[in-house]
Amino acid sequence: MSDKREPYIECEDLFKIYKRADLEVVALRGVDLNVSAGAFLSIVGASGCGKSTLLNILAGLEVPSAGQARVGRRDLLNMSERDRVQYRRHEVGFLLQSTSRNLFPYLTALENIELPMAIAGERAFQRRGRALELLSVLGLVQQAKRLPHQLSGGEQQRVATGVALANRPGLLLADEPTGELDTGTANEVFQAMQDICRTYGVTVVVVTHYLGVGDFADRVVHMRDGRIVAESAREAPLQGSGETVQGEYVVVDRAGRLQLPVESLETLGPGGRVSVEVRNDGILIKPRVSDQ
Ligand code: ADP
Ligand code: MG
């Protein structure tokens, strides 16, 4: 039925409008995003640009206003409330920014990871086995018996990643998981997420302010004002060729709208001076050489 090459996450012209009294806030204005199964994607952008809104939609916590959003075989716009609950419970693991809110303070690291499995009715020896395996992938075997307050912030977020992964979701979502951590510790958390992504084939989507995430994520998409405006990748295949490219690209969305990276906007955008040349192989836009 479903094509294997189909992206695991597919958003098309996605809109989210918050209505409060007589005020409307357009938080997402036409987001197009495809993510393959097992990829590690990071979303960056200034505060208020819509990152959490997009993540909450993917988590099934918010319902989009218009457009399309699909994760696996689930249509996030046309889902019954019951399916939405099932989706959140089985398909998604969610990690919050606040390290303390992700864990129960009076349970050890091991018990915290076992808890969601206990709630789901998994048997004791299976819970223990799965929790120990996750702790091992996360590099936390030594910390298994410690309580959250006996762990560093980075260790707490790694345990929380184990909690989010306990019931084998296909999708791991994290909203600024290292917002309270320093750079070195942030690297530790993203490294653990990358290990989880590679070991279990989980698709990971992380919202972050930390630009160093580019060392761990396969793709970094940049949001501005409710849209995805640019993308950078460590190594992305150039379509139709065996070549790979690095760095930031401009994005042409499905409606043909062209989004410039922020740096290019200064020279090519409104107020900038550009020359446009239509050629056989495409359209060339470049800074205009001053004609004085
Ligand atoms: P980010 O996570 O990138 O900081 P958000 O997705 O939280 O941005 O917010 C995007 C925009 O939507 C902001 O203008 C924000 O004020 C608005 N917004 C977010 N959540 C709500 C809400 N529940 N009600 C009204 N406006 C909201
Ligand atoms: Mg946010």
- One DSSP character per residue, 5-20 reads TS-SEEEEEEEEEEEE
Q: Do 199 and 285 have their domain in common? A: no
Q: CA 56, CA 175: separation in Å to the nearest integer?
A: 9
Closest listed residue to residue 26, CA positions, set 80, 77, 67, 81: 67
Has residue 1 been placed in a domain?
no
Provide residues with CB under 6 Å of ligand 1. 18, 20, 25, 27, 45, 47-53
User: How far away, in angstroms, is 126 Cα from ligand 1 center?
Assistant: 40
Q: What is the pLDDT of residue 259?
A: 61
Amino acid at 226: G
Q: What is the pLDDT of residue 32?
A: 96
Q: What is the pLDDT of residue 208?
A: 93
* CATH number of the domain that residue 63 is part of: 3.40.50.300
User: How far away, in angstroms, is 55 Cα from ligand 2 center?
Assistant: 9
Q: Do 128 and 267 have their domain in common? A: no
CA 2 to chain centre: 23
Q: What is the pLDDT of residue 266?
A: 62
Of the residues 19, 25, 49, 56, which should be mutated to test ligand 1's pocket, given the most ligand atoms within 8 Å of the CB?
25
User: How far away, in angstroms, is 49 Cα from ligand 2 center?
Assistant: 8
Give 119: exposed, middle or buried? Use CB within 10 Å, 0-12, 13-18, 19+: exposed
Q: CA 233, CA 250: separation in Å to the nearest integer?
A: 12
Q: CA 264, CA 275: separation in Å to the nearest integer?
A: 14
Residue 9 makes CB contacts below 8 A (sequence gap 6+) with 33, 34, 35, 58, 70, 71, 171, 203, 205
Retrieve residue 15's tokens. 């809109």
Nearest CA residue ID for atom 1, ligand 1: 48
Q: Do 160 and 269 have their domain in common? A: no
Q: Do 184 and 169 have their domain in common? A: yes
Count of H-run helices and E-run strands, the chain: 7, 14
Amino acid at 232: S
Q: Do 81 and 155 have their domain in common? A: yes
Residue 63 makes CB contacts below 8 A (sequence gap 6+) with 57, 76, 77
Q: What is the pLDDT of residue 97?
A: 81
Q: CA 124, CA 180: separation in Å to the nearest integer?
A: 34
Domain that holds residue 272: 260-292
- Each residue of 243-286: pLDDT tens digit? 444 555 556 555 556 666 556 666 666 666 677 777 766 667 77
Has residue 56 been placed in a domain?
yes
Q: Do 62 and 46 have their domain in common? A: yes
Q: What is the pLDDT of residue 281?
A: 64
Rg (CA), the chain: 21
Q: Do 226 and 278 have their domain in common? A: no
Q: CA 14, CA 36: separation in Å to the nearest integer?
A: 18
* 124-137 and 183-200 helices, crossing angle to 10°: 130
User: How far away, in angstroms, is 245 Cα from ligand 2 center?
Assistant: 30
Q: CA 10, CA 28: separation in Å to the nearest integer?
A: 15
Residue 204 makes CB contacts below 8 A (sequence gap 6+) with 39, 40, 41, 171, 172, 173, 174, 193, 194, 196, 197, 217
Q: What is the pLDDT of residue 279?
A: 72
Q: Do 122 and 238 have their domain in common? A: yes
pTM exceeding the 0.85 threshold for the entire prediction:
no
Has residue 86 been placed in a domain?
yes
List per-residue pLDDT tens for the chain, 292 residues long: 445 578 999 999 999 999 988 899 999 999 999 999 999 999 999 999 999 999 999 999 999 999 999 999 999 999 999 999 999 989 999 998 877 788 999 999 999 999 999 999 999 999 999 999 999 999 999 999 999 999 999 999 999 999 999 999 999 999 999 988 889 899 999 999 999 999 999 999 999 988 899 999 999 999 999 999 988 876 544 444 444 445 555 565 555 566 665 566 666 666 666 777 777 666 677 777 655 5
Q: What is the pLDDT of residue 181?
A: 87
Burial string for 145-167 (b: 16+ CB within 10 Å, else e) reads ebbbeebebbbbbbbbbbbbbbb
